Amino acid sequence: MSILVSLFYILFCKQNINILFVAIFILFFGFGVFRFSLYDEYKGSEITDSLVEQKITAEGIITDEPIEKEKSIKFIVKLDKVISFDGETKVKDRVLIITDLPSLFKYGDEVVLRGILIKPKNFSSNDREFDYVSYLSKDKIFYQMFRPEIKLKSEGGGNYIKEVLFSVKNSFLKSIKKIIPEPHASLLGGLTVGAQESLGEELQNNFRKTGIAHIVVLSGYNVTIVSEAIMRVFGFLPMVFKFSLGALAIIFFVLMTGASATAVRAGIMAVLVIIARVTGREYDALRALLIAGVVMIIQNPKILAFDSSFQLSFMATLGLLYVSPRIYKYFKFITTKFQFRELVVSAIATQLFVLPLILYKMGNLSILALPVNLLILPFIPITMFFGFVSGVIGFLGSAIAFPFSFITFLFLDYELKIVNFFANIPFSSIQINNFPVVFMVLIYIIYGVILFLINKNKKNVPKINL
């Protein structure tokens, strides 16, 4: 099809460059479909499939950090072999382990598992079916084991750099927990280093109700704050060293936080900022967002379809970069002191742009998301700063870190109180079940038409600091 459109352009429509763009779009769309089909082709090995619903003994290495929830601990094991009476069989499949054992294991540990191997299944929540099978398949996980017997065989089987980074991260989290009580410590861990620890089911529901769940885990916004802080730390160095160490530090930070889709997207964009400064080129944030998205989708095309965090992060950033400057002029009645107008405009743009996707994916309409975001987001950078300082000084002693930890606690307590207060307001959140995909697409089409009309007069589009 792309070849036919290209020939049509060459023979009949050389004056219309749009036809060439259509041909290029069709070509890359075809490559995308081909790449997705290749990635989706593998769905587990025949050997491992034959063991499903059986009790097996297997050995493997933990390939990521264990995630501690309120009632369970989850981690991924890449199997190396299955042991039976007939001997050992080599396998290379990834298994999601769900257990209630204490957190005795870590990334890089080689473990022996004994339990029943099963296939993941989709499940329903609030009358909505969650495609859990596809969600796990994006990480090439096609098997699960619930509460198996687990024995440690050896340590240090992972990537050395990741082991060091995770060790630093866990030491930092332990330091925080010594000087700041729960649930404040878990919230701070999520803000600063992406710790995926449970805040408790009630509090997590309150974060979802108020539309502020993105701060519980390390979002692109948090990574941007960290990236800017890293560049300032290296600001005294010569340009080449400053930018080189800055880029390396950002990459290490993204790895340390678990390299979630939102963190990777923000990390790539931050590194592109550094590259633009080194080469003397103008940084185009929208172009950087598209580059980051393309790179991530080429590496793992399934995140485009099945990773909600990637989708929401991409749409929120698109709204921030594309919508905010175009609606800025309509909010002249809001003061510019402390960049409050920019904050309001950015919050409105991102909330509007992710709302249709949230309704389709989760069905949760948070009525009070905008005021809660405006009351909390201005304090996130300073909370992260004092939280980081508290954790670092906490290594020297709790008494020395007390002034900083007390200030950090006050900010965290304020943020938690705001969330709990608004979440307990009647009808603060409405559950909309089975929001049709057609409605979502229609809303985004309407957004596109409105932005097109606004964009016709480009002179009225200010360039604001995002």
| CA 106, 108, 110, 116 torsion-angle sign | positive
Residue-by-residue pLDDT tens, the chain, 466 positions: 444 444 444 444 545 555 555 666 666 666 666 666 777 667 778 888 888 898 989 999 999 888 887 778 899 999 999 887 677 888 889 999 998 866 678 899 999 999 999 999 988 776 677 888 888 988 889 999 999 999 999 988 888 999 999 999 989 999 999 999 988 998 998 888 877 766 777 888 888 888 887 776 666 666 777 777 777 777 777 777 778 888 888 888 888 888 888 888 888 888 888 788 777 777 788 888 888 888 888 888 888 888 888 888 888 888 888 888 888 888 888 888 877 888 888 888 888 888 999 888 888 888 888 899 889 988 888 998 899 999 999 998 888 999 999 999 999 999 999 999 999 988 888 888 888 889 999 999 998 888 778 776 655 454 444 4
Q: Where are the domains of the chain?
A: 2-35, 48-158, 167-460
The pLDDT value recorded for residue 7 is 43
**Dist CA 427 CA 37 (whole Å):** 43
Could you count the other beta carbons within 10 Å of the beta carbon of residue 457?
A: 8
| pLDDT confidence of residue 8 | 43
| pLDDT at position 390 | 93
Q: 423 is written with which tokens? A: 């979440």
Buried b (16+ CB within 10 A) or exposed e, 315-325: bbbbbbbbbbb
Q: Quick one: tokens of 232?
A: 């300032």
> What residue has token string 């089911």?
201
Prior bond of 181 cis (ω within 30°): no
Residue among 63, 56, 89 at smallest CA distance from 77: 63
Pick the CATH number of 48-158 from 2.60.40.1120, 3.20.19.10, 2.40.50.140, 2.170.150.20: 2.40.50.140
pLDDT at 217: 63
The pLDDT value given to residue 5: 40
Radius of gyration, alpha carbons of the chain: 24
Q: Which two tokens stand for residue 448?
A: 């596109």
Task: Please report, for residues 29, 125, 148, 196, 239, the alpha-carbon distance to residue 389 in angstroms, rounded to integers and kept in the order given.
Answer: 47, 40, 40, 20, 26
